[in-house]
Structure 1
Amino acid sequence: MSNGMIIILNGPLGIGKSTLAEALMEQIEGCVMLDGDYVIAMNPPPPDEVEYLNTMLSLLIEHHQGNGYKHFVINHIWRSPEELHDLQQKLRVIAPHSKLCCFLLTLSLKENLRRIQVRQGARALNESEFEMTTVMEERSLLQAGANGCLGELFDVSAEPEELVVSLLSRLNLTSITLDKS
């Protein structure tokens, strides 16, 4: 694995993308977590958020590679195969020898909604209505494109520690066998 790896976690709001990304990053030596929501959190927002996001992610990865990092976990929602394909094309240009893996996180609607409610309890602003509407729209869009074009399906109903072991196993890795150079 001397060339590194880029793991893309795709999925709707509140499904656990950030939690899983952080847990993965902690188990992979020389890894950077890039949260798409933070990359595009600007006011006012860019005219084409997805184009901006995909370009900035590739620039950030290129920058971090120049500082010795080899592995990356990216989390966000890419709503269409075209959006995700654009990101993958940009990443192949700046990291042509890195292993590129994309997972579409799945979870029952009931559990997804429960996680959103728990998350709302820790926030200063009540965005429950917005988040409930958004998650329903996003789940619908992702289901429509879930024929493998938005990532390999990955059930996130277990605890983060179990998910990391399962995902690393799916990638034929363990945190111990990852290249540390």
Structure 2
Amino acid sequence: MIILLNGPLGIGKTTLADALMESIDQCVMLDGDSLVAANPEPTDGLEHLHSTLSLLVPHYRKLGYQHFVIAHIWTSQEQIDDLRRRLASYDADFRCFLLTLPTEENLKRINRRASGRAVDEIDFELHTVAEEREMLKRGTGVDLGEPFDVSASPLVLVNAMLAQLGLCQ
């Protein structure tokens, strides 16, 4: 199974991805932000991410892993379809979820996590989340993933997502 967690900065993609990875046997969590982090930045971050995932998934499959949780932001159906095509040879159940949360709560989460960081990136993050939410809003009417409200606690969210995936424990 390949599970994409789609959504803007600070919505909880990484937190949910970590919790899912810990709850699903033979599972690897791949964080899109970490996979494209490079200095200098790749000219095409999404191409860099998708080509990296195309290398990592078969590598982990050879090691016996069967499930992948990938957290990133995809703002168009074409971007998601590109990744789906690149990973199609693995004949995996491919599920994409668009994480949702009211804007005010998303901003609270960003502010809360900023207080624990060594580098002050709050202005950058607030600007970025506004841009990303706008890009996702423009994608309304296209399939950016099954809507999944992330306003509950991580434990409740994991249980709800496992149920939705048919992986109840």
Query: Which TM-score bucket, shorter chain as reference?
Result: over 0.9
Report whether the alignment pairs 1:141 with 2:135. Answer: yes
Q: Name the Cα RMSD after superposition.
A: 0.9
Structure 2 alignment gaps of length 5 or more: none
Q: How many residue pairs align between the two structures? A: 169
Query: Deviations for 1:124-168, whole angstroms, at most 9, x for unmatched residues?
Result: 111111111110110011111132421111000000000011011
Tell me the equivalent position of 1:156.
150
Tell me the equivalent position of 1:179.
none
Report whether the alignment pairs 1:84 with 2:80. Answer: yes
Larger relative helix fraction: 2
- The 3 A distance-change label for structure 1 pair 115 and 151 is same
Query: Deviations for 1:40-94, whole angstroms, at most 9, x for unmatched residues?
Result: 000001111101101101210110001100000000111222222111111113x
Report whether the alignment pairs 1:132 with 2:126. Answer: yes
Query: In the alignment, residue 80 of structure 1 is paired with which amino acid?
Result: S
- TM-score w.r.t. the length of structure 2 is 0.97
Contact 2:5 2:98 in 1 (8 A): yes
**Alignment partners' CA distance in 1, 2:121 and 2:151:** 24
Tell me the equivalent position of 2:103.
109
- TM-score w.r.t. the length of structure 1 is 0.91
When structure 1 is superposed on structure 2, of 143-152 and 38-47 the one drifting more is 143-152
- Percent identity of paired positions between Structure 1 and Structure 2: 54
Query: In the alignment, residue 133 of structure 1 is paired with which amino acid?
Result: H
SS of the residue aligned with 2:8?
coil
**Alignment partners' CA distance in 2, 1:68 and 1:56:** 19
